[in-house]
């Protein structure tokens, strides 16, 4: 850009000098050389050197030097060109001075040439003289903008860095980022809750694993104890048979425990298989029939009041497990009378198993649903309890979209109640998801 404007400026200067030379040469026409010299000596042009060159190249007049000391000018480009074409304009660059000289020459008459010369700074010189201040200015600008950018960035970023991400809503940094901080706070709260949940789940699982191995150790100890006795050969045939049947009993209780643990973990994983429409009353009658031998042995009286059409969505094994566990408990801890009922209350199917046993004290009504919690551990163990029956009942009820609780029974003992959402569709045995 500098070069372009320089070119325009130079072009103007050339035209200007050429016009001056023209006018001056015109003014000399018709004069003899003496008169020409005189006329020229009356002319002063600021910064412009005027030279009059004779036809033989000698200098007739020069404003800046002694004419006699000057060399013959016939071989000068501008002089030759002026004689040739009437006028000329030539720019001569000086190698050393960093200056250019612009010559405008006009032939006045008969080989006499009038030459005007103007010295001017050359473009490279001009540029190089500009370079240092320009570079300095650029450097200053860069430094200044760096400092400014730093200061501005810091002033913008500092309040952001001071935002306490643990308490984002306490920050007063910028009103503009409030929605972002609110979102961060919500995410943080969600993460904290999730983390708590995870930690709780891990600790429950750890405790559960510890309990399971503890529960397994006792039957195993008994089994290996009796086995060792039999192995040593000190037992008589009768004792051997007794020990063998004890070993079988302990193995059976281990099998039941493993069964319960596996069922619980299936429930925990939600891997229950497809859901079907099932009639809870049918399930109750089924389970009661299966447990008849136990009922009969105990001489217990079981009343089943289960009208048809108590349909719920779910997997049959899960529903059967709920009824079986409750009925077994009623037979185990009850006083010989049990009532199994299903009824519909609005959108809910209510299953209840009541007995006339000791019941469950109010303060323990939540605890009995915990894994491995037993009110009377020795009674539970004697009767083949694993301590997982009610935990399974509660988890299974949840998996069917319902809940389980315990209250006083009209029979005098405990009344376990499981409430499940009633199925609205009347279609049967179609695999589907439970209604939500
Ligand atoms: P368990 O295998 O010991 O029966 P559960 O989880 O089924 O384990 O029950 C937990 C505890 O609740 C039992 O050990 C027992 O003390 C008490 N319990 C369960 N059902 C009854 C009931 N019908 N009457 C009185 N106590 C009960």
Ligand 1 midpoint to CA 359 (Å) = 10
β-strand partners of 275: 432
Say yes or no: do domains 2-120 and 162-271 share a fold: no
Q: Coil, strand or helix: which one is 385?
A: coil
Q: Radius of gyration (Cα) for the chain, nearest Å?
A: 58
β-strand partners of 432: 275
H or E stretch covering 417: strand 414-421
- Whether the CB-CB separation of 340 and 304 falls below 8 Å is answered with yes
pLDDT tens, residue order, the chain (436 aa): 666 766 777 788 889 999 999 999 999 988 888 899 999 988 888 889 999 999 999 999 999 888 888 889 988 999 999 999 999 999 887 666 567 889 999 999 889 999 999 987 777 777 777 888 899 999 999 999 999 999 999 998 888 888 888 888 887 778 888 888 899 999 999 999 999 999 998 998 899 999 999 999 988 999 999 999 999 999 999 999 999 999 999 999 999 999 999 999 999 888 777 889 999 999 999 999 999 999 999 999 999 999 999 999 999 999 999 999 999 999 999 999 999 999 999 999 999 999 999 999 999 999 999 999 999 999 998 888 999 999 999 999 999 999 999 999 999 999 999 999 999 865 454 555 554 4
Sign of CA dihedral 30, 32, 34, 40: positive
Ligand 1 midpoint to CA 422 (Å) = 27
Q: Is 355 in the pocket of ligand 1 (CB under 6 A)?
A: yes
Q: Is 366 in the pocket of ligand 1 (CB under 6 A)?
A: no
Contacts (Cβ under 8 Å, ≥6 apart) of 135: none
Closest to 40 (Cα-Cα) out of 23, 16, 18: 23
Per domain, the residue ranges of the chain are 2-120, 162-271, 273-421
β-strand partners of 54: none
Ligand 1 midpoint to CA 372 (Å) = 10
β-strand partners of 304: 340
Whose tokens are 């493993």? That residue is 258
β-strand partners of 158: none
Which value, to the nearest 10 degrees, does the dihedral of the CA atoms of residues 248, 322, 376, 385 take?
0
Q: Is 357 in the pocket of ligand 1 (CB under 6 A)?
A: yes
For residue 327, give both structure tokens.
């009925």
Closest to 422 (Cα-Cα) out of 342, 354, 324: 342
- 273-421: what CATH class? alpha beta
Ligand 1 midpoint to CA 265 (Å) = 20
Q: Is 281 in the pocket of ligand 1 (CB under 6 A)?
A: no
Ligand 1 atom nearest residue 357's Cα: 24
Q: Find the DSSP H helices in 353-436.
A: 377-382, 389-399
- Could you tell me the pTM of the whole model? 0.62
Buried b (16+ CB within 10 A) or exposed e, 367-383: ebbebbbbeeeeebbee
Which of 208, 211, 254, 329 should be mutated for ligand 1, with most atoms under 8 A from CB?
329
Can you tell me the distance from the alpha carbon of 151 to that of 417, in angstroms, rounded to the nearest whole number? 71
Angle, CA of 173, 175 and 178, to the nearest 5°:
90
The fold adopted by the segment(s) 162-271 is Helix Hairpins (1.10.287)
Which of 300, 357, 367, 389 should be mutated for ligand 1, with most atoms under 8 A from CB?
389
For residue 29, give both structure tokens.
């026409």
How many other CB atoms are found less than 10 A from the CB of residue 99?
13
Please count the CA atoms within 13 angstroms of the CA of 361 that sit on its side-chain side: 6
Q: What is the CATH number of domain 2-120?
A: 3.30.450.20
β-strand partners of 103: 90, 117
């Amino acid at each position: 850009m500098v070069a372009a404007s320089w070119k325009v400026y130079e072009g103007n200067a050339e035209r200007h000098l050429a016009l001056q030379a023209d006018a001056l040469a015109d003014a000399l026409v018709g004069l003899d050389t003496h008169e020409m010299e005189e006329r020229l000596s009356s002319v002063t042009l600021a910064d412009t050197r005027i030279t009059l060159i004779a036809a033989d190249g000698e200098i007739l007049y020069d404003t800046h030097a002694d004419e006699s000391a000057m060399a013959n000018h016939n071989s000068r480009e501008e002089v030759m060109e002026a004689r040739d074409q009437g006028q000329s304009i030539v720019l001569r660059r000086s190698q050393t001075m960093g200056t250019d000289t612009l010559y405008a020459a006009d032939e006045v008459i008969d080989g006499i040439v009038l030459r005007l010369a103007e010295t001017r700074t050359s473009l490279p010189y001009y540029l190089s003289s500009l370079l240092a201040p320009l570079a300095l200015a650029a450097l200053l600008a860069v430094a200044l903008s760096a400092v400014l950018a730093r200061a501005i960035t810091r002033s913008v970023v500092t309040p952001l860095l001071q935002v306490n991400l643990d308490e984002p809503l306490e920050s007063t940094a910028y009103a503009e980022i409030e929605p972002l901080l609110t979102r961060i706070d919500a995410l943080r709260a969600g993460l904290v809750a999730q983390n708590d949940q995870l930690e709780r789940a891990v600790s429950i699982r750890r405790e559960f694993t510890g309990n399971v191995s503890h529960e397994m150790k006792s039957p195993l100890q008994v089994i290996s104890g009796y086995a060792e006795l039999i192995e040593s050969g000190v037992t008589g045939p009768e004792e051997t048979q007794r020990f063998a049947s004890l070993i079988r009993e302990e193995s059976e209780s281990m099998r039941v425990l493993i069964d319960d643990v596996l069922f619980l973990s299936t429930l925990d994983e939600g891997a229950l298989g497809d859901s079907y429409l099932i009639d809870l009353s049918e399930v109750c009658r089924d389970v009661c029939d299966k447990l008849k031998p136990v009922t009969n042995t105990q001489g217990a009286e079981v009343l089943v009041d289960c009208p048809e059409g108590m349909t719920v969505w779910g997997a049959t094994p899960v529903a059967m497990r709920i009824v079986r566990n409750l009925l077994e408990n009623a037979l185990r801890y009850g006083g010989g009378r049990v009532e199994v009922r299903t009824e519909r209350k609005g959108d809910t199917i209510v299953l209840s198993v009541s007995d006339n046993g000791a019941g469950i004290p109010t303060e323990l009504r939540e605890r009995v649903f915990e894994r491995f919690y037993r009110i009377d551990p020795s009674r539970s163990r004697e009767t083949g309890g694993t301590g997982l029956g009610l935990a399974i009942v509660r988890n299974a009820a949840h998996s069917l979209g319902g809940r389980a609780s315990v209250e006083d029974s009209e029979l005098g003992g405990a009344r376990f109640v499981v409430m499940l959402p009633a199925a609205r569709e009347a279609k049967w045995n179609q695999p589907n998801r439970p209604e939500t």
